[in-house]
Amino acid sequence: MKMKPYIHKVNYYETDKMGITHHSNYVRFMEEARVDFLDQIGWSFDKLEAKGLASPVLSLDCTFKKSTKFADVIECIVRVAKLSALKLTLAYEFTCGGELVFTGTSTHCFLDLNGKPVFTEKIYPDFYGDLKRLLEE
Q: Which residues are catalytically annotated?
A: 16
CB atoms within 10 A of CB 49: 12
Distances (CA, A) of 92 to 26, 52, 57, 60, 118: 10, 26, 14, 11, 25
Distances (CA, A) of 61 to 15, 90, 112, 114: 21, 10, 25, 27
Amino acid at 61: D
DSSP 5: P
Q: Which helix (H) or strand (E) holds 30?
A: helix 25-40
